């Protein structure tokens, strides 16, 4: 039997109670999989991987001399979220994004929150991702963040915590969709037994959100021209860009396909220059317009920022949103929620120490071997110190950097992360997971019921990033309440 030797080993396990019995909302999955002969399970897992390889559902690995494409490893046991848990997550994420969007509007206009000293002004004004150039410019419908992918984790008591917000170009939605269709092919019966919310409306909703924010000047209000801007085929997430463009039925363009004339953006097509209204861009601010930001960028479109400021093109997400997912600003998010919404945060977040605060810094420097230290503006699991597991040289290196540039670092206690049965060489073992739901801001804010569950495939590892040995799982939100 597949789960016979499975041990929770004292961690919070998504599937099993501490006593080893399956949790009620996992019962159909447990019953369906437990009986599957090991060889058959292995075959199905292999078939899914082969299908991903054949379909080119891959990402490109950087710092790999061969520049190889790899599949994002997929584990067939789905992660199941009961509807009552999901309702809280959904409400919490909507609250959080509403507040962060108000925050962005405020700091790019009157900066009330700084004047009221809820956040020290220099934290915002001095941040790497604060775009002074965009002060006092309006974005359509006042929406700055159209697509958000927040990372959630669960601590040892199973409590959901927001680990970070991704407000620039969050990736992974295509894997949420591909994982679902892969698992439907491999284990169709599991779906019938559980009743799972569909995720495949995501591309349509994404397109709708894009169309909703078309510039007011555009003569194409009914059918605005929306395109997806990719850095190109050598970007690690190119598969996703092509996938989403295809699902939405919009052109995928590179910087060289666009040209700015008279504060408007055009695509270079076989029949001439065709105007563009909305750009779902998958290029970071720094690279998007070499006439304003990094002049060495060959990926961007010179004149794009001017066109955006003139109100002739909408960028999704808007420029300058990175300030709101700065890890120092993260510390202030509960205060941001209270300030703009006068509500208590529905979702908790991880206790955070700011190296820029004298007291916190002393604590951090004294406890480097017990804390997780993060750079304020890195993503993808880079620029991180995992104190309890780090070599002493690494710790000293961070100590130096923190003292030299305290604004750039925060520290958090390590969170153990919940575990989930995951297939490995020795059968099922517990592996740490997180959750990235996708939140879209259009006419209203919607959260796709599900998301991407990332899993650290190496035993004991807490790093779930695809670039560093992470895999993923299909994520189920159940349609109905489970009666135990």
Partner 1 sequence: MTFTSSINKAANPREQIVDGPKSNVMLSRVAASLYWMSRYLERAENIARLLDVNLQLLLDFGKVSEEALKQHWIPVLRASGEEDMFFQVYGTADSRSVVEFLTFSEQNTNSICSCIYAARENGRQVRDQISLEMWEVLNAAYLFLKESDVDKVWARGATEFFDQVKNFSHLFQGLTDSTFSRNEGYEFIQFGKFLERADKTSRILDIKYHMLLPKVTDVGGAVDTAQWQAVLRSTSSLEAYRRYYVAEIVPWKVAMFLVFSESFPRSIRYCIERVGEFVHLITDTPSGQYRTEGERRFGKFLQQTRFTTPDEVLREGLHEFLERVQKELLAVADHMFDSFMYHPPVDMAAEIRLHQQEQQQQQVRAPEPPQPHRNGR
Binding site for partner 1 (CB under 8 A): 53-56, 111, 114-115, 120-122, 125, 132, 135-136, 219-220, 222-223, 225, 233, 238-239, 242-243, 245-246, 251-254, 256-257, 259-261, 263, 266-275, 289-292, 295, 298, 302-303, 306, 309-310
Q: Minimal distance in Å, beta carbon 251 to partner 1?
A: 6
Of 15 and 104, nearer to partner 1 (C-beta) is 104
Q: Minimal distance in Å, beta carbon 285 to partner 1?
A: 16
Q: Minimal distance in Å, beta carbon 264 to partner 1?
A: 9
Of 46 and 125, nearer to partner 1 (C-beta) is 125
Q: Minimal distance in Å, beta carbon 189 to partner 1?
A: 25
Report the distance separating Cα 390 and Cα 434, nearest Å.
22
Of 253 and 279, nearer to partner 1 (C-beta) is 253
Of 9 and 222, nearer to partner 1 (C-beta) is 222
Q: Which residue has the tokens 């895999």?
A: 471
Q: Minimal distance in Å, beta carbon 1 to partner 1?
A: 36
Q: Minimal distance in Å, beta carbon 233 to partner 1?
A: 5
Report the distance separating Cα 334 and Cα 186, nearest Å.
42
What does the block give as tokens for 347? 């979702």
Q: Is the separation of the CB atoms in 472 and 74 below 8 Å?
A: yes
Q: Minimal distance in Å, beta carbon 278 to partner 1?
A: 13
Of 59 and 86, nearer to partner 1 (C-beta) is 59
Q: Is the separation of the CB atoms in 337 and 103 below 8 Å?
A: no
Report the distance separating Cα 74 and Cα 455, nearest Å.
9
Of 54 and 444, nearer to partner 1 (C-beta) is 54
Measured between its terminal Cα atoms, the distance across the chain in Å is 24
Report the distance separating Cα 187 and Cα 2, nearest Å.
15
Per the document, the length of the chain is 484
Closest CA to 455 of 5, 11, 183, 74: 74
What Cα–Cα distance (Å) separates residue 306 from each residue in 3, 291, 302, 322, 333? 59, 9, 9, 19, 31
Q: Minimal distance in Å, beta carbon 99 to partner 1?
A: 20
Report the distance separating Cα 196 and Cα 161, nearest Å.
24
Residue 402 CB-half CA count within 13 A: 29
Q: Minimal distance in Å, beta carbon 175 to partner 1?
A: 16
117: left (phi over 0), alpha (psi -120 to 50) or beta: left
Of 297 and 412, nearer to partner 1 (C-beta) is 297
Q: Minimal distance in Å, beta carbon 474 to partner 1?
A: 20
Q: Minimal distance in Å, beta carbon 220 to partner 1?
A: 5
Of 135 and 193, nearer to partner 1 (C-beta) is 135
Of 109 and 481, nearer to partner 1 (C-beta) is 109
Of 273 and 395, nearer to partner 1 (C-beta) is 273
Q: Is the separation of the CB atoms in 470 and 455 below 8 Å?
A: yes
Q: Is the separation of the CB atoms in 384 and 372 below 8 Å?
A: yes
Of 91 and 128, nearer to partner 1 (C-beta) is 128
What Cα–Cα distance (Å) separates residue 292 from each residue in 130, 192, 262, 399, 413? 14, 53, 16, 35, 39
């Amino acid at each position: 039997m597949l789960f016979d030797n499975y041990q929770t080993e004292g961690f919070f396990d998504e599937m099993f109670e501490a006593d080893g019995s399956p949790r009620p909302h996992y019962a159909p999955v447990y019953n369906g999989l437990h009986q599957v002969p090991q060889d058959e399970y292995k075959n199905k897992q292999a078939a899914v991987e082969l299908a991903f390889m054949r379909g080119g559902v891959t990402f490109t690995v950087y710092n790999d001399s061969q520049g190889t494409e790899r599949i994002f490893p997929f584990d067939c046991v789905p992660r199941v979220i009961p509807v009552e848990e999901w309702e809280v997550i959904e409400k919490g994420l909507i609250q959080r994004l509403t507040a962060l969007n108000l925050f962005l509007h405020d700091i790019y206009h009157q900066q009330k929150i700084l004047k009221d000293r809820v956040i020290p002004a220099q934290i915002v004004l001095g941040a790497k991702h604060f775009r002074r150039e965009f002060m006092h410019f309006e974005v359509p419908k006042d929406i700055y963040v159209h697509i958000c992918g927040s990372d959630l984790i669960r601590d040892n008591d199973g409590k959901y915590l927001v680990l970070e917000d991704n407000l620039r170009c969050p990736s992974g939605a295509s894997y949420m969709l591909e994982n679902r269709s892969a698992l439907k092919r491999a284990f169709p019966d599991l779906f019938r037994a559980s009743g799972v919310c569909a995720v495949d409306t995501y591309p349509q909703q994404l397109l709708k959100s894009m169309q909703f924010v078309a510039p007011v000047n555009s003569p194409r209000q009914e059918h605005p021209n929306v395109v997806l801007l990719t850095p190109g085929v050598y970007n690690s997430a190119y598969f996703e860009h092509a996938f989403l463009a295809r699902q939405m039925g919009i052109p995928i363009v590179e910087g060289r396909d666009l040209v700015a004339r008279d504060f408007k953006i055009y695509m270079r097509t076989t029949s001439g220059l065709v105007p563009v209204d909305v750009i779902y861009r998958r290029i970071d601010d720094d690279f998007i317009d070499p006439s304003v930001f990094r002049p060495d960028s060959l990926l961007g479109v010179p004149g794009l920022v001017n066109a955006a400021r003139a109100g002739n093109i909408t960028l999704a997400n808007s420029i300058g949103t990175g300030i709101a997912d700065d890890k120092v600003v993260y510390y202030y998010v509960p205060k941001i929620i209270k300030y703009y919404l006068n509500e208590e945060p529905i979702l908790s977040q991880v206790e955070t120490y700011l190296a820029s605060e004298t007291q916190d810094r002393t604590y951090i420097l004294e406890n480097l071997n017990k804390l997780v230290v993060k750079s304020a503006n890195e993503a993808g699991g880079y620029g991180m110190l995992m104190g309890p597991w780090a070599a002493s040289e690494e710790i000293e290196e961070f100590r130096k950097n923190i003292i030299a540039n305290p604004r750039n670092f925060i520290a958090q206690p390590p969170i153990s992360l919940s575990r989930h049965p995951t297939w490995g060489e020795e059968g099922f073992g517990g592996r740490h997971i997180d959750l990235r739901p996708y939140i879209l801001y259009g006419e209203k804010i919607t959260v796709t019921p599900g998301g991407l569950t990332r899993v650290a495939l190496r035993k004991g590892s807490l790093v779930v990033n695809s670039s560093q040995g992470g895999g993923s799982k299909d994520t189920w939100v159940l349609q109905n309440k489970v009666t135990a």
